[in-house]
Structure 1
Amino acid sequence: MKENKYGTKGDDILLDNKIEAKEILVKDLFDSKFLFRVPEYQRQFSWENDNFDQLFEDIKESLESEEDNYFLGSVILQVNEINLDGSGIYDIVDGQQRLTTITILLAVMRDLTNSTQAKATLQEKIYQKENEYMGTKEEVRIHVRDREKDFFRKYVLEEEGTKKATIKNNLSEPQQRIVTAIEVFRNKFYIDGAVNQKLLSNMIKYILNNCVLVYVKTGNFTSAFRLFSVLNDRGMPLATSDLLKSANLSAVKENNRKRYQMSWEQIEEDLGRDELDKLIGFIRTILIKEKPRKNIVDEYNQMIFNGIMEPGEEYIQYLDEVANIYKERILNANIGISTNIEVKFYNLISIMRDFIPFSDWMVAFISFALKYPEESNLYNFLIILEKSYVINWIIGITTTKRIVETNRILQVIEKSKNAKEVFNDDVFDLNDYKNEVQRLLNDSLFYKMKFCKYILLRLDLYLCENSNINKCYKGTVSVEHVLPQNPKEDSEWTRTFDSNSRNELTHKLGNLVLLSRKKNSAANNIDFKEKIIKYYSNGITDFEITREIKDYSIWNHSSIQSRQVKQLNRILDIYYS
């Protein structure tokens, strides 16, 4: 065996090819045989108030019910370095949320107890003192990530640390969660402004002597992450991004692992875990170009990482490229060229991003941008892409059919030799649907259709496209009826429109406008001329589609029909010109 200052290297011991699982009490896990490290590739400390509260209450309930043991869950450990006596340093592959939280709870109890013996016992579990006769060195029981290391030492590991005041607003998210855990656990022991020393003493004894974990340890990094992929943190289900992060970092050579871990975490920090999971799904679709048949992790392992792309450095670089396109082109709506195309691109992709309720089009856009990143191509592609997805939305194709159409577009992009080939492909020829589109836009229940608001916003954008102004459709955007849905019986509206006319025209495209406010049925019922003054004039509304109403002196059957024709022709100009 290869010697080092700790004894032997974990990779050289029998555990390299074996997995060991064992049930262990907290007092034995937090003892001289174990020192823990949270590897840099792990996600940040993520537990929140509810997790801390539930953990404490579950333990307390078990204590009060006089149960022999309380199971805290499992942890997966990779042997990093080990001594001849079996003690060693372990990387926490799974369970860092739990072990970090237990450490904080032990520290809080240490700082609240008035028992000198209890205080010393708990500090011993948290902080290993040097003992030259036992061959142990001074060391913290758990090394958190470098970004939180100094903070964790000051406010948790050091005696009286949990009593130190700090201002949350100045802290990073993981640091805020550490402080939250301290606050939650401290408050649990206070009754009428004083520490309940009896409860505290009982909890210390119960946690150390009755709370049990199962540790699973292996000396092999790949084996550790194979286990990681099938187990969850308590109260913190593993996301797809966690599982793929594990699989990919395990495939990176050790001397490059930290760099690629930082790259992955930067993407996660920029986008958030939910958005990262979405991107991972996008990549799956771009690379496989088929309807999902298994869970996404299995498809990655069996299809993508089995011939399409190597896990590790290649995949993380690809993910980084996709994330940059998604962030810069889609989220920031930036095409990168200072022309009127820049404004048009910004406006169009913004309403697509914010008001199209499905994201399949983003997959196609990213795929195109990966192959043809030139800015001059991106806007032209976005125009035909929007036409394709919106027309299919209008005619009501199913989600399954939309997935099929997306995969057809991806195949066209992959096989193409240049961008022009993509633009001219038959996959974007939707002329056969023109009559159906006209019929649906003319429907008397247009307002009830899911695409109603988007079409009105697209019309508004069409009316503004020569203004060279970035349109920002943020906040509340409501669809309003000029002829109200429920006019008062003695109003101008009921005198102008009989019940049959109202049934026919109220929800028609020609009777609808947009307003930047919540619906107000009382205001909506006022007479037409007053409505123009209050809601439709310049300076009152930001929508060109709404300002146009002021050009009408009256609002009757003929007004709605003429506007219906005008709006329909505009939409056809957008999508079929």
Structure 2
Amino acid sequence: MKITPTTLSLQQFFAVGNEQFLIPAYQRRYAWGQRQQRELFDDLRLLPAGDTHLLGTLLFLADTHGPGINRLELVDGQQRVTTITVLMRVLARRFEREGDPEAGQELTKLLLCKGVDRKPQPKLHLGDLDHADYIHIMEGGNSSEVENECLRGAHQNFTVWVDQLSLDELNQFFHKLMNSASIIRLDVGAAKDAYKLFETINNRGLRLKPTDIIKNFLLGHASSLPSGTLEKVKEDWRKLIVALDGLDSDDFFRQWLAGRLHRKVTKNKLVADFRAYYLRHVTEAQSMTEFISSSIKDDEDDEDAEDVAALEDSDPGDLVADKKVKLTTFAKELRQSAQLYASLLWANTESSKVNRHINNLWRIKAFQSFTWLLDMFGRKSVNETTRVRLLRTLEAFMMRRHICEKRSNELETIFATLTSIDDQNYEHTALATLREYTPDDEEFETAFATFPFVPAVVNRARYALEMFEYQAIAHKNEYYLADPEELELEHIIPKAAEKPGTKAIYGDWPSYLGEGWKAKHIKMLHRIGNMTLLADELNVVASNNPFLAKRQEYAKSNIRLTQELAEYKQFKFKTIEDRSNAFGKLAIRIWKV
């Protein structure tokens, strides 16, 4: 392995006029937050005069330099280099405003590169998802239009912090940045060496995510295989990253792998389990050497001790190996799974019925179920009709378990088990498995009537009320209620019952509810019997009977559940209890597994 380490000041690092640093399209997006940005800024601002500050190691994949623009792939260090260039651009603008164009031009020149044609290009070129945002910032565009929140935050934070410096402090900071801060640059000529080194370098900044380690593992192996393999795997990885934009890629790998291993996969076991699976299922894996032995310690999960212990006792080697595939096929299938996963999580499939049920699952809080859904939707043998029926059953299953407050950790094991079902009798077997872990009618009815639909699960209450409405109108799939954002979740007895503003609008709720109302209010406020849906804010006139003031508006609603409230002569805590109990009896019919 040929490695050329060089310690450089930032002035020296950026000074080579015909070098361009490329952040590959397969890399993760810019992700530094305010904490990392502030640490870098303060490390330089507070650096004593005459002292030096090491910013860490940067790893480049570089060929022999030629006369034109030499494009160097930045394998490790993209977060720091991107942050530093944004800071340099902010400094340049401050100098220009201070009437020091020379300093501003010096910084601007370092942020550009030129080839034989002398046309300036950005010194740093980000991947597909971030480059347009980056150029927008560097060219002085409105940062509020930048989509990547972290990039936008870097520009805005540095602008605020740099503007707080006095002119003397600004000059000192500029000198420290360019001359006292240094990096260790490692230039590696072979891709396989670059990816091998990646795991051994410790950087200040964000801890490596499992996704980054998996990427390096795949690309490192691909780089040791015949020509063309690496480029194919890179392209599939690029598409995978694009597909998962806005989602947690670690969650994808964890749920995808759980579906392949048919067991729960925790974050702290993800990398090791992925490697074990890869070694057993990829044809070329038998030729791997250095990538097998490398060890990675991941973040610990907040799992129950018994769950972690159970996983530690399991051995991926006990699995029966599937038919092996070539690495390029493995990468393609992984990318396709990521694209399917994204379409499911965004409820962006080709079926409006499927999308509606997935949106319901989000409102119920059923994220764990996507392990099973990814597997189910990846099976060509399961048609849309079956999928919709199973999605409807899944809603009922998750609703019952959440309302009865069953252990959430158990869900991941249940859904991983469902991925092992054979295609033959698939629906029947899946239903049998779900029923085994479903609370019975009696438990669910009792729990539903007393369940506190607090703000953290308010969408679950909206969902429940919508289902009650569809039951009330004998819904025939002809029309649906407005989007949740357009419907108010109305507490009939209001949250702030004793505030002067509430009394001025509705009337005197405490007097209306009677002695001891406050203790009962705390207990009954978030029960389903105290809730309804309303499209517009109430327009009421206060009266001695505050419910009657509301009742006039309920009568105007097109929602059946809300209209029915207008038939009540009074609405007190006993009414909430009776209404909640009635909803409980209805719930066991609607959410039937």
Residue 190 of structure 1, CA deviation: 8.6
Q: Are residues 1:368 and 2:392 paired? A: no
**In 2, are the aligned partners of 1:35 and 1:142 still within 8 Å (CA)?**
yes
Taking a change above 3 Å as real, the CA distance of residues 80 and 312 of structure 1, as seen in their structure-2 partners, is farther
**In 1, are the aligned partners of 2:83 and 2:154 still within 8 Å (CA)?**
no
Residue type of the partner of 1:454? R
**In 2, are the aligned partners of 1:431 and 1:576 still within 8 Å (CA)?**
no
Residue 249 of structure 1, CA deviation: 4.1
Residue 93 of structure 1, CA deviation: 0.5
Instruction: Please give the residue correspondences for 1:366-515 in structure 2 after superposition, counting only pairs within 5 Å.
Output: 366-371=374-379, 372=381, 374-412=383-421, 415-429=422-436, 433-443=440-450, 446=452, 454=460, 457-464=463-470, 465-466=475-476, 468-471=478-481, 472-474=483-485, 477-478=488-489, 480-482=491-493, 491-494=511-514, 509-514=528-533
Taking a change above 3 Å as real, the CA distance of residues 398 and 524 of structure 1, as seen in their structure-2 partners, is farther
Find the residue that maps to 1:425 and give its secondary structure. helix
Q: Are residues 1:26 and 2:2 paired? A: no
Q: Which residue of 1 aligns with 2:249?
A: 276
Equivalents in 1 of 2:489, 2:435: separation in Å? 31
Q: Are residues 1:72 and 2:55 paired? A: yes
Equivalents in 2 of 1:447, 1:49: separation in Å? 34
Find the residue that maps to 1:491 and give its secondary structure. helix
Find the residue that maps to 2:556 and give its secondary structure. coil
Q: Are residues 1:356 and 2:356 paired? A: no
The normalised TM-score by structure 1 is 0.72
Residue type of the partner of 1:532? R
Instruction: Please give the residue correspondences for 1:529-540 in structure 2 after superposition, counting only pairs within 5 Å.
Output: 529-534=548-553, 536-539=554-557
Find the residue that maps to 2:566 and give its secondary structure. helix
**In 1, are the aligned partners of 2:18 and 2:114 still within 8 Å (CA)?**
no
Equivalents in 2 of 1:176, 1:562: separation in Å? 50
Task: Single out whichever of 507-516 and 93-102 deviates more from structure 2.
Answer: 507-516
Taking a change above 3 Å as real, the CA distance of residues 229 and 402 of structure 1, as seen in their structure-2 partners, is same
Equivalents in 1 of 2:572, 2:342: separation in Å? 47
Q: Are residues 1:318 and 2:318 paired? A: no
Residue 433 of structure 1, CA deviation: 2.5
- Match among 235, 238, 256 for residue 259 of structure 1: 235
Residue 437 of structure 1, CA deviation: 1.8
Residue type of the partner of 1:332? A
Residue type of the partner of 1:321? Q
Equivalents in 2 of 1:109, 1:484: separation in Å? 50
- Match among 81, 102, 106 for residue 99 of structure 1: 81
Residue 380 of structure 1, CA deviation: 0.3
Residue 571 of structure 1, CA deviation: 0.8
Residue 47 of structure 1, CA deviation: 5.2
**In 1, are the aligned partners of 2:52 and 2:182 still within 8 Å (CA)?**
yes
Equivalents in 1 of 2:545, 2:510: separation in Å? 12
Task: Single out whichever of 367-376 and 502-511 deviates more from structure 2.
Answer: 502-511
Find the residue that maps to 2:591 and give its secondary structure. helix
- Match among 553, 559, 568 for residue 552 of structure 1: 568
Q: Deviations over 1:212-242 (max 9, x none)?
A: 2123343332342344346576544444434
Find the residue that maps to 2:420 and give its secondary structure. helix
Residue 516 of structure 1, CA deviation: 6.2
Q: Percent identity?
A: 15
Task: Single out whichever of 433-442 and 477-486 deviates more from structure 2.
Answer: 477-486
Q: Are residues 1:188 and 2:162 paired? A: yes
**In 2, are the aligned partners of 1:408 and 1:427 still within 8 Å (CA)?**
no
Taking a change above 3 Å as real, the CA distance of residues 280 and 73 of structure 1, as seen in their structure-2 partners, is same
Q: Which residue of 2 aligns with 1:144?
A: 125
- Match among 191, 214, 218 for residue 244 of structure 1: 214
Taking a change above 3 Å as real, the CA distance of residues 95 and 476 of structure 1, as seen in their structure-2 partners, is farther
Taking a change above 3 Å as real, the CA distance of residues 434 and 234 of structure 1, as seen in their structure-2 partners, is same
Residue 377 of structure 1, CA deviation: 1.7
Equivalents in 1 of 2:349, 2:185: separation in Å? 49
**In 2, are the aligned partners of 1:76 and 1:95 still within 8 Å (CA)?**
yes
Equivalents in 1 of 2:455, 2:526: separation in Å? 10
Residue 105 of structure 1, CA deviation: 5.1
Find the residue that maps to 1:66 and give its secondary structure. coil
Taking a change above 3 Å as real, the CA distance of residues 302 and 183 of structure 1, as seen in their structure-2 partners, is closer
Q: Are residues 1:289 and 2:262 paired? A: yes
Taking a change above 3 Å as real, the CA distance of residues 177 and 408 of structure 1, as seen in their structure-2 partners, is closer
**In 2, are the aligned partners of 1:346 and 1:470 still within 8 Å (CA)?**
no
Find the residue that maps to 1:68 and give its secondary structure. coil
Query: Which stretches in structure 2 are left out of the alignment for 5+ residues?
Result: 223-228, 283-324, 499-507
Residue type of the partner of 2:25? E
The normalised TM-score by structure 2 is 0.70
Question: RMSD value over aligned CA atoms?
Answer: 5.0
Residue 389 of structure 1, CA deviation: 2.0
Find the residue that maps to 2:371 and give its secondary structure. helix
**In 2, are the aligned partners of 1:460 and 1:543 still within 8 Å (CA)?**
no
Q: Deviations over 1:8-30 (max 9, x none)?
A: xxxxxx51xxx555543334434
Q: Are residues 1:206 and 2:225 paired? A: no
Equivalents in 1 of 2:456, 2:517: separation in Å? 27
Find the residue that maps to 1:469 and give its secondary structure. coil
Equivalents in 1 of 2:494, 2:110: separation in Å? 73
Equivalents in 1 of 2:105, 2:521: separation in Å? 81
Q: Which residue of 2 aligns with 1:4?
A: none
Residue 78 of structure 1, CA deviation: 2.1
Taking a change above 3 Å as real, the CA distance of residues 189 and 501 of structure 1, as seen in their structure-2 partners, is closer
Residue 247 of structure 1, CA deviation: 3.5
Find the residue that maps to 1:474 and give its secondary structure. helix
Quick check: which has more Rg, 1 or 2? 1
Residue type of the partner of 2:57? S
Q: Which residue of 2 aligns with 1:134?
A: none
Taking a change above 3 Å as real, the CA distance of residues 127 and 366 of structure 1, as seen in their structure-2 partners, is closer
